[in-house]
Structure 1
Amino acid sequence: MTAPLHKDHPAGPGRALPDTQQGMRRRNLARVMHTVSAEGPLSRAAVASRIGLTRAAVSTLVDELIRAGLIEELGPERPGRVGRGRPGSALAVSGSGPAGIGAEIGVDHLAACAVDLRGQVRVRVVRPGTNRGRAPEPVVGDLTALIRQVVAEAEREGLWPAGLAVAVPGLVAGDARTVVRAPNLDWHDTDLGALLPPELPPTVDNEANFGALAELWLGEGTPRDFLHVSAEIGIGAGVVVDGRLLRGTRGFAGELGHVPVRPDGPECGCGGRGCLEQYAGEEAVLRAAGLEPGEDRVGLLAGRATDGDEEVRRALRVAGEALGIALTGAVNLLDPESVVLGGALSGLAPWLLPSLRTELARRSAGPACPVTVSGLGPEGPLLGAAHSVVRAVLDDPAGVAGRDRPAV
Structure 2
Amino acid sequence: MTAAPHQAEPARPGRALPDTQQGMRRRNLARVMHSVSAEGPLSRAAVASRIGLTRAAVSTLVDELVRSGLLEELGPERPGRVGRPGSALAVSARGPAGIGAEIGVDHLAVCAVDLRGRVRSRAVRYGSNRDGSVEPVVERLTALVRQVVAEAESEGLWPAGLAVAVPGLVARDGRTVVRAPNLDWHDADLGALLPADLPLTVDNEANFGALAELWLGEGTPRDFLHVSAEIGIGAGVVFDGRLLRGTRGFAGELGHVPVRPDGPECPCGGRGCLEQYAGEKAVLRAAGVEPGEDRVGLLAGRAAEGDADVRRALHEAGTALGIALTGAVNLLDPEVVVLGGALAGLAPWLLPSLRHELARRTAGPARPVSVSDLGPQGPLLGAAHSVVRAVLDDPAVVAERA
TM-score by length of 1: 0.95
Partner of 1:367: 365
Q: Does the aligned pair in 1 maintain the 2:320–2:354 contact within 8 Å?
A: yes
Aligned-residue offset at 1:403: 4.5
Q: Could you list the per-position Cα deviations for residues 132-162 of structure 1 after superposition, in whole angstroms to 9, with x for gaps in the alignment?
A: 1141101000000000000000001110001
Paired residues for 1:257-406 under 5 Å: 257-403=255-401
Partner of 1:166: 164
What amino acid is aligned across from residue 384 of structure 1 in structure 2? G
Paired residues for 1:26-175 under 5 Å: 26-81=26-81, 84-175=82-173
Q: Distance in 1 between matches of 2:53 and 2:302?
A: 59
What amino acid is aligned across from residue 195 of structure 2 in structure 1? P
Q: Distance in 2 between matches of 1:379 and 1:320?
A: 21
Q: Distance in 1 between matches of 2:43 and 2:207?
A: 36
Instruction: Find runs of 4+ consecutive structure 1 residues off by over 4 angstroms.
Output: 9-13
Where 2:188 maps in the other structure, the secondary structure is strand
Q: Does the aligned pair in 2 maintain the 1:11–1:176 contact within 8 Å?
A: no
Where 2:269 maps in the other structure, the secondary structure is coil
Aligned-residue offset at 1:79: 2.8
Q: Could you list the per-position Cα deviations for residues 216-271 of structure 1 after superposition, in whole angstroms to 9, with x for gaps in the alignment?
A: 00000000000000000000000000110000000000000000000010000000
Q: Distance in 2 between matches of 1:121 and 1:301?
A: 28
Aligned-residue offset at 1:65: 0.3
Change (3 A) 1:29 1:15: same
Q: Distance in 2 between matches of 1:13 and 1:30?
A: 11
Q: Does the aligned pair in 2 maintain the 1:10–1:205 contact within 8 Å?
A: no
Where 2:263 maps in the other structure, the secondary structure is coil
> Does 2:204 match 1:206?
yes
Q: Distance in 1 between matches of 2:311 and 2:173?
A: 42
Q: Distance in 2 between matches of 1:12 and 1:374?
A: 24
Q: Could you list the per-position Cα deviations for residues 171-211 of structure 1 after superposition, in whole angstroms to 9, with x for gaps in the alignment?
A: 00000000000000000000000000001131000000000
Q: Distance in 1 between matches of 2:97 and 2:80?
A: 32
Q: Does the aligned pair in 1 maintain the 2:10–2:390 contact within 8 Å?
A: no
Where 2:109 maps in the other structure, the secondary structure is strand
Change (3 A) 1:403 1:295: farther
Q: Does the aligned pair in 1 maintain the 2:213–2:374 contact within 8 Å?
A: yes
What amino acid is aligned across from residue 21 of structure 1 in structure 2? Q
Change (3 A) 1:11 1:168: farther
What amino acid is aligned across from residue 381 of structure 1 in structure 2? P
Aligned-residue offset at 1:281: 0.2
Farther off after superposition, 15-24 or 149-158: 15-24
Where 1:331 maps in the other structure, the secondary structure is helix
Paired residues for 1:159-198 under 5 Å: 159-198=157-196
Aligned-residue offset at 1:401: 2.5
Q: Distance in 1 between matches of 2:10 and 2:370?
A: 25
Q: Could you list the per-position Cα deviations for residues 314-354 of structure 1 after superposition, in whole angstroms to 9, with x for gaps in the alignment?
A: 00000000000000000000000000000000000000000
Where 2:357 maps in the other structure, the secondary structure is helix
Where 1:369 maps in the other structure, the secondary structure is coil
Q: Distance in 2 between matches of 1:89 and 1:23?
A: 28
What amino acid is aligned across from residue 62 of structure 1 in structure 2? V
Aligned Cα root-mean-square deviation (Å): 1.3
What amino acid is aligned across from residue 197 of structure 1 in structure 2? P
Change (3 A) 1:99 1:190: same
Where 2:350 maps in the other structure, the secondary structure is helix
Q: Could you list the per-position Cα deviations for residues 271-325 of structure 1 after superposition, in whole angstroms to 9, with x for gaps in the alignment?
A: 0000000000000001111122121111111111111110110000000000000
Q: Distance in 1 between matches of 2:15 and 2:63?
A: 25
Q: Could you list the per-position Cα deviations for residues 84-143 of structure 1 after superposition, in whole angstroms to 9, with x for gaps in the alignment?
A: 321000000000000000001000000000000000001011111110114110100000
Residue-pair matches, total:
394
Q: Unaligned 5+ residue runs, structure 2? A: 1-8
Where 2:324 maps in the other structure, the secondary structure is helix
Q: Distance in 2 between matches of 1:68 and 1:236?
A: 39
Change (3 A) 1:239 1:11: farther
Highest RCO, 1 vs 2 (Cα 8 Å, sep ≥ 6): 2
Partner of 1:3: none
Q: Distance in 2 between matches of 1:50 and 1:15?
A: 22
Q: Distance in 1 between matches of 2:401 and 2:338?
A: 38
Q: Distance in 2 between matches of 1:221 and 1:335?
A: 19
What amino acid is aligned across from residue 62 of structure 2 in structure 1? V
Farther off after superposition, 170-179 or 21-30: 21-30
Aligned-residue offset at 1:22: 1.1
Aligned-residue offset at 1:402: 3.2
Aligned-residue offset at 1:14: 3.1
Aligned-residue offset at 1:12: 6.3
Q: Unaligned 5+ residue runs, structure 1? A: 1-8
Q: Does the aligned pair in 2 maintain the 1:72–1:94 contact within 8 Å?
A: yes
Where 1:65 maps in the other structure, the secondary structure is helix
Change (3 A) 1:55 1:286: same
Q: Distance in 1 between matches of 2:136 and 2:225?
A: 34
Q: Does the aligned pair in 1 maintain the 2:112–2:121 contact within 8 Å?
A: yes
